[in-house]
A and B are shown apart, each in its own frame.
Chain A
Amino acid sequence: MGLRAFSRLGFFLLSLACGLSATRCLYADEAPVTSWDQKEEAFGSAADQGRLAWAILEAIEQHNISPPPRKDLIRAITRGLFRVPKDAAKDFPYRKLLERVDAEFLECQNADEMAHAVERNERFNLDFDRVVADLRSGFGENLGEFRLIRSKDHDVEEQFHGNRYVGLGINVFPNDPSHLPVIMKIRPGGPADSGGLKPKTYIHEIDGRPTENVPQGKILDWIRGPIGTDVTLKVSTEMSKEQRLVTLTRGLVRVESLKDRNREPISRDGLRYDRREPIGWISVETINGSTLHELRVVENQAREDGIQVLVLDFRGFGQPDDFHQSLLVADSFLDGSPIWTRTEASTEPRVEYADRDCLFRDILLVVVVDRTTRPSLSAIAAALQDAGRATLVGESPYFMGVISSTVRLNGVPFSLAMATARLDRARRDRQWPLEPDYSVVENMAASANQPPIPKGFRIGDRMILESDLNSKSPDTRKMRTSIESTKSADPAESVQDSQRRSNTSNVVARESSPDRQVPIQKQNDVVPIRLIPPTRKLPIEDAAILVAMELQRSVPPKSAKAVSNARNEQNKESTR
């Protein structure tokens, strides 16, 4: 279990490092808050470090869902203090040391005593990375997403949670050969846009500090600051090498948490995945303060557009999200039913119920999940599944019911992110990880000596073949066309995507293309197979659309009753 959580974290960090999916451009303004790096920025005296250590201990004991015994916590902290190797206890030279540590630290009762104890051992410097790593490896599953962050980064995180980030509205690419940060994208209407900056601008200095070879964390640090304050950049562009100074005022940068199918801002006519079908597609990039508001706007749009089935794509990474907002979003989809049972450090297990009002009331929902689906979204998906509100398609997310949040530490300018709540599902007979209603199976690796694979894919126990689709009613034929048209029109299938494809896959793709003309194949002859192209992403999307189409066929024709009191004044009145 612990390993799984850890690998999830590793995967998460790796994906961040890789700049996420190829289709998505990460704004500097969207870059998640990073953990505190002690090597970058040291903190205080030995006594201060002792107080920090104590504050960590106190926060874990107060807020963690199942805190380890205090002794274990102090030992983990002092191992960091003395930089003792992990399995040192077996090692004779360390045993003496650990005994001494036990004697000096285990009896500490408050921050001052801990501060003194560290001071007495001043020649050592507390290695908080070690502390965190030790705690994580020792109590990983219970600690959740365990990291130490500076208070000012926590402030930024809270800005993300409220969708009120303060910055310049730029995307900074850190790994340019020039060793300078490069502005790749400018958010329309943001301070940088108003200041006349253009993409492909090199930043040489920020407020007089040279930026060459400075790590991105530091660059973000310098760019971020209180609202209304100025930041002066020395910039040059590819066109004119001449360096000039630009002064920008930090302002609110709002980022939509809902995007369209191509992960672009939702336009007035961007809801339908295909013009001919009453099926909409919304990608939920993150859950923050504005998500509920955005969903209300989308609801009006969906109703106006006659959407009957809405696909909610819960895949992918975005800004850090806020579990409280997940509760509100889950509530907004449900009509009075239990959402989940939440247990926090200081509370009894408590069933949280949704209000009776519910968005998308007459619209069927399909939720797409996979291994990249984040905890907050996995929790919502589970709640919708348990209430029978949505049909889930895709792969099981890693989420195991542990909710992390960031807690301010007492008396030190740091916060600690850790597991603070556990969720049990509304349906008591269901466990974590959640199982999609239609799991789209990752297929066996194709190889050159395998026979050509007929087109189609498997959803759960069912195999769906293109040939099947051909053989049925005109409706299903329409389905097929729709699937094909999305494939060809899908910009998500970027150059990099196709580059990532292995040669064998390409062979399969070519070989199977004549199949389109091949007459109907009997279902019995069919083996589980994947759709072309064989990236994992596309079968899931196609499966979701297929499920949506089947659901849509079950929708009775609209009654004469005009339900559409559509559109929203908010569209016009407050477009942020």
Chain B
Amino acid sequence: MKLKRSCKILIWLVVIGLGMIIGSSAEESLAVHFRRPVAIVVSPDGTRLAIANQRSGTISLVDLHKKKVILETAIGKRLSDLIVTRDTRRLLVTDEEAHQLIAVSFSPAGYEVEKRLTVSPYPASVRINDEGTYAFVASLWSRTVTIVNLNAWLDEGDKQVSTMKHQIRLPFAPREMLVLNVADQKTKIPSLEIPRLKLLVADAFGSRLAVIDPESGQVDSLREIPAHAIRGLRLHSTKSQLVISHQVLSRLAQSTFDDVHWGSLMTNVMRTLELSDVLDPKADLLTHSVLQYLGGPDRGAGDPAGFVMNPNGLTGLALSGTDELMLLDENNVYGGRVKTEQYPTAVAMGTDGVYAYVLNTLSDSVSVVQLAGPLLAGTISLGPQPDFTPADRGERLFHNAKLSHDAWFSCSSCHVQGHTNGLLNDNMTDGTFGTAKRVLTLRGVAETAPYSWTGRFKTLSDQIAHSVKSTMQGNPLTEEETSDLEAYMKTLPPPPALGTEDKLAVERGAAVFEAQNCRNCHTQPLFTSAKILDVGLKDERGTSKFNPPSLRGVSQNAPYFHDGRARNLEAVFTQFRHQLNGELSSEELTDLVAFLNDL
């Protein structure tokens, strides 16, 4: 075992050690650009960090002894994740703009792309199993998990085996994943046939968890927990429990000062589930759920993100909204916070179990934190950033929980990645409490005035100022802050359509859309209008006039209507007969939904 480990270290040294030679020349000449680092791994010997940069499409190599970047190589357009293969010879990287899984190896010239594999669009994360035989790629907007036969792809040894093992469609947009080895698990489940491997996949925006059987490509179970913004998944050191970092938005609480202050509206939590419940498709996930509430009145812990656990059970959790790393002991008892730089999202554990490396996504830097303590041991810059544009400043505000009272949450808590968590929130934007409304996506919001469900705000900046002051109970924004946030939101493109293979159905669906006069309210090209209309839906206080939401990317916005009463697009027409001027045949319905899925 030890031998194997030292072998690995040796190979790693060969693979990336060369970086030092090149690095000595590279370190002085790091490009001035925004990196937006999103994923981090520690080399098996614990001396280096490899970091995937989203905005620059580069990989940075950090020497931990020198505490500096020794290399930065462009390998793609927009990177979203990276991991080391089990043989430690390669990095696997996802590119969410080129829609590729990239195998990267090392050469004297730096990182070198060895292979590119086109996967389902918008890959957001990649994992591998312990044996290193499979790579699992979660594709966000196309809602697909791709299982890649790594040996077949990389070594091309066995031509009989196809590279793609399975492409599994999910009813939600996946991001975080965790490979579960059932053999690890201490408690046995009688109802479970003994499979070796399972893949847990979490909803990027909302509250769903799926367990996938990689061998068969089947979805074992699809369940919901009261959660959104699931940003960390790990096995507890006991191997019998699953730990999840996420947020909880109460449907019943209101965006009043009191409900925000006392943590009734939004809570930031670490949830522990029994692994046996997770693996048993029939089990109720919540029967043994234990919640650890993070932060408290006067000091919120907005937007918990990635976390690590060292062998002693110490947890280092990134609080991406408050720019801190929070320490929790083996019982999840609070052990202190360390200030990091802006928007820490991912954490990697050093091989010694002493240091954690926190990736500050909006500062292009790594904070080195000694977990016991906890103490800030140093900060490593990934390279110089250019001057901030208003949109860049806006992006930093958007992810900053300090905009809310006591830093309980940020804009991105509900508008996860500028999209929506799909949940209901009872705020005063519609002028009344007791009328919880679905959180709207901010993607594509630039051109869809007026704003809010009731169309109450003529400009986006009015809506922003109101939301921060009222919904978030924060200090009023300055004019510059408001316009910066507006500038950032206007850079967000509409959610990409889920799409469909059947282009003919889309064409037929367009005809149905026309025949039903849908465009009267959902007018092209944005499939919305500035009107405020009564379409026969009422909220709890009798408000029935709403501004029609844009249908661009509508396939990504479920559930539908102001209170999310329609679970999917089909239900909009079958169950609620939304503005139909006659009967829809089942073919027409299928075509119309295909058309909407393609918008």
A residues neighboring B (CB under 8 Å): 161-164, 289-290, 292-293, 296, 303, 324-325, 327-328, 331, 335, 344, 346-348, 350, 352, 355-357, 361, 561-570, 572-574, 576
Residues from 279 to 310 in B contacting A, C-beta threshold 8 Å: 286-299
Flag if A356 contacts B257 (CB, 8 Å).
no
Looking at the assembled complex, report how far the CB atom of A1 sits from the nearest CB atom of chain B, in whole angstroms.
27
In the assembled complex, the Cα of A324 lies from the Cα of B258 at a distance in Å of: 11
Cβ distance A321 to chain B, nearest Cβ, rounded Å: 12
| Contact indicator A568/B293 (Cβ below 8 Å) | yes
CB pair A573–B296 under 8 Å, yes or no, is: yes
A171 shortest CB reach to chain B, Å? 24
Given contacts A162-B261, A289-B261, A563-B290, contact A331 B299 (CB under 8 A): no
Is the CB–CB distance between A328 and B333 below 8 Å? no
The smallest C-beta distance from B136 to any residue of chain A, in angstroms, reads 28
CB neighbours of B541 from chain A (8 A): 346-347
Chain B residues within an 8 Å CB radius of A357: 226, 248, 286, 289, 291
Contact of B531 with A by CB under 8 A: no
Closest chain B CB from A313 CB (angstroms): 22
Q: Is B252 an interface residue (CB 8 A)?
A: yes
Q: Is there contact, CB below 8 Å, between A569 and B328?
A: yes
Residue contact B291 to A290, C-beta cutoff 8 Å = no
B560 within 8 A of A: no
Q: B residues bordering A, Cβ < 8 Å?
A: 187, 225-226, 238, 240, 248, 250-254, 256-259, 261-264, 272, 274, 286-299, 328, 331-335, 434, 540-542
A574 proximity list for chain B (CB < 8 A) = 295-299
Report the bound CA distance from A325 to B331 in whole Å: 30
How distant is the Cα of A7 from the Cα of B293 in the complex, in angstroms? 43
12 A-B residue pairs with CB within 8 Å: A164-B261, A289-B264, A327-B252, A328-B253, A350-B540, A355-B250, A357-B248, A563-B288, A568-B293, A569-B292, A570-B295, A574-B295
A162 to B473, CA, bound (A): 14
| CB pair A570 B296 closer than 8 Å | yes
What CA separation (Å) do A357 and B240 show in the bound complex? 21
**Interface pair B297/A161, CB less than 8 Å apart:** no
CB pair A576–B272 under 8 Å, yes or no, is no
In the bound complex, residues from chain A placing their C-beta under 8 Å from that of B252 are 327-328, 331, 352, 355
A576 and B298 contact, Cβ closer than 8 Å, known pairs A162-B257, A346-B542, A361-B289? yes
CA distance A561 to B274 in the complex (A): 9
* B331 x A162 contact (CB < 8 A): no
In Å, the complex CA distance between A335 and B226 comes to: 11
Q: Which of B254, B259, B292, B294 contacts A565 (CB 8 A)?
A: B292
Which chain B residues border A567 with CB–CB below 8 Å? 331, 333
Residues of A within 8 A of B289 (CB): 357, 361
- A333 CB to closest chain B CB (Å) equals 13
Determine if A161 and B258 form an interchain contact, defined as CB atoms under 8 angstroms apart. yes
Cα A296 to Cα B541 in complex, Å, equals 32
Q: What's the Cα separation between A562 and B290 when bound, in Å?
A: 11
Question: Chain B residues with Cβ under 8 A from A361's Cβ?
Answer: 287, 289
CB-CB under 8 A from A296, the residues of chain B are 263, 293
Complexed CA–CA distance, A251 and B232 (Å): 40
**CB < 8 Å: which of B262, B333, B542 contacts A569?**
B333
Give 10 closest A-B pairs by Cβ, nearest first: A569-B334, A162-B258, A289-B258, A574-B296, A570-B296, A293-B262, A567-B333, A289-B262, A565-B332, A357-B226
Whether B332 and A335, one on each chain, are in contact in the complex, defined by CB atoms closer than 8 angstroms, is no
CB B536 to nearest CB in A, in angstroms, measures: 15
Q: Which residues of A contact B294 (CB under 8 A)?
A: 569
* Contact between chains at A565 and B286 (CB < 8 Å): no
Collect the chain B residues with CB atoms within 8 Å of residue A350's CB: 540
CB distance from B290 to the nearest CB of A (A): 5
Question: How many residue pairs bridge A and B at CB < 8 Å?
Answer: 110
**A299 closest partner in B (C-beta):** B291
Interface of B, helix, strand, loop or mixed by DSSP: loop
Contacts A328-B252, A347-B540, A565-B292 given; does A289 touch B272 at CB 8 Å = no
CB distance from B237 to the nearest CB of A (A): 12
Tell me the smallest distance from the CB of A539 to a CB of chain B, in Å.
36
| Distance between A388 CB and nearest chain B CB, rounded to angstroms | 16
Given the known inter-chain contacts A162-B257, A355-B252, please indicate yes or no for A292 contacting B262, CB distance below 8 A: yes
| Nearest-CB residue, chain A, relative to B253 | A328
Are A290 and B297 CB-contacts (below 8 A) given A328-B252, A350-B540, A356-B286?
yes
Known contacts A347-B434, A347-B541, A576-B297; A565 and B257 CB within 8 A of each other: no
**A573–B262 CB distance below 8 A:** no
A67 to chain B, nearest CB (A): 17
Q: Which residue of A lies closest to B254 (CB)?
A: A324
Contacts of A293 in B (CB 8 A): 262-264, 296-297
Q: CA–CA, A293 to B264, complex, Å?
A: 7
Contact of B226 among A164, A352, A356, A572 (CB under 8 A): A356
**B264 neighbours in A (Cβ, 8 Å):** 289, 292-293, 325, 328
Q: Closest residue to B298 on the A side, CB-wise? A: A574
Distance, CA A162 to CA B261, complexed state (A): 9
A200 to chain B, nearest CB (A): 33
Residues in B whose Cβ lies below 8 Å from that of A562: 238
Residue of A nearest to B538 (CB): A348
Inter-chain contacts of B286 with A (CB < 8 A)? 335, 356-357
Q: What residues on B are CB-neighbors of A572 within 8 Å? A: 334
Write out the residue numbers on chain A whose beta carbons fall within 8 Å of the beta carbon of B434. 344, 347
- In angstroms, how far is the closest chain B Cβ from the Cβ of A463? 37
With known contacts A293-B296, A347-B434, A357-B226, A564–B262 Cβ distance under 8 A: no
Cα distance, A568 to B262, chains bound together (Å):
15
Q: A293-B262, A355-B252, A573-B299 are in contact. List 13 more A-B contacts (CB 8 A).
A: A164-B261, A293-B263, A293-B264, A296-B293, A331-B250, A347-B542, A561-B187, A568-B292, A569-B334, A570-B295, A574-B296, A574-B299, A576-B298
Report chain B residues within 8 Å CB of A346. 541-542
Please give, as numbers and ranges, the residues of chain A lying within 8 Å of B256 by CB-CB distance.
162
A331 to B250, CA, bound (A): 10
A292 to B267, CA, bound (A): 12
Query: Which residues of the partner chain A approach B287 to less than 8 Å between Cβ atoms?
Result: 361
Question: Which among B286, B297, B299 has the highest number of chain A CB atoms within 10 Å?
Answer: B297
Complex: A325 Cα to B328 Cα, angstroms: 30
Which residues of chain A have C-beta atoms less than 8 A from B272's C-beta?
565
CA distance A296 to B269 in the complex (A): 12
CB neighbours of A327 from chain B (8 A): 252
Closest B residue to A290 using CB positions: B262
The listed residue (B225, B250, B261, B331) touching A566 by CB distance below 8 A is B331
CA distance A352 to B334 in the complex (A): 34
- Nearest A residue to B248, CB-CB: A357
List of A residues within 8 angstroms of B248 by Cβ? 357
Q: How far is the CA of A566 from the CA of B298 in the complex (A)?
A: 22
Using Cβ atoms and an 8 Å threshold, which residues of chain B touch A569? 292-296, 328, 333-335
Whether A328 and B226, one on each chain, are in contact in the complex, defined by CB atoms closer than 8 angstroms, is no
Interchain CB contact under 8 A, B251 and A355:
yes
- Report B-chain residues with C-beta under 8 Å of the C-beta of A289: 258-259, 261-262, 264
CB distance from A331 to the nearest CB of B (A): 5
Closest B residue by C-beta to A564: B331
> In the complex, are the beta carbons of A570 and B293 less than 8 A apart?
yes
CB-based nearest B residue for A327? B252
> A561 touching B288 by the CB < 8 A rule?
yes
A442 nearest CB across to chain B (Å) = 37
CB neighbours of A324 from chain B (8 A):
254
Inter-chain CA distance A164–B250, complex, in Å, is 22
Bound CA span A319–B258, Å = 16
Minimum CB–CB distance for A334 against chain B, Å:
11
Residues of A contacting B274 in the complex (Cβ-Cβ under 8 angstroms): 561
Residue of B nearest to A294 (CB): B262
**A576-B299 Cα distance, complex, nearest whole Å:** 11
Q: From residue B235, how far is it (CB to closest CB) to chain A in Å?
A: 14
Residues of B within 8 A of A570 (CB): 293, 295-296, 334
CB-CB under 8 A from A566, the residues of chain B are 331, 333
Q: Are A355 and B261 within 8 A (Cβ)? A: no
Assembly CA distance A561 to B238 (angstroms): 11
Q: Closest B residue to A359 by CB, please name it.
A: B291
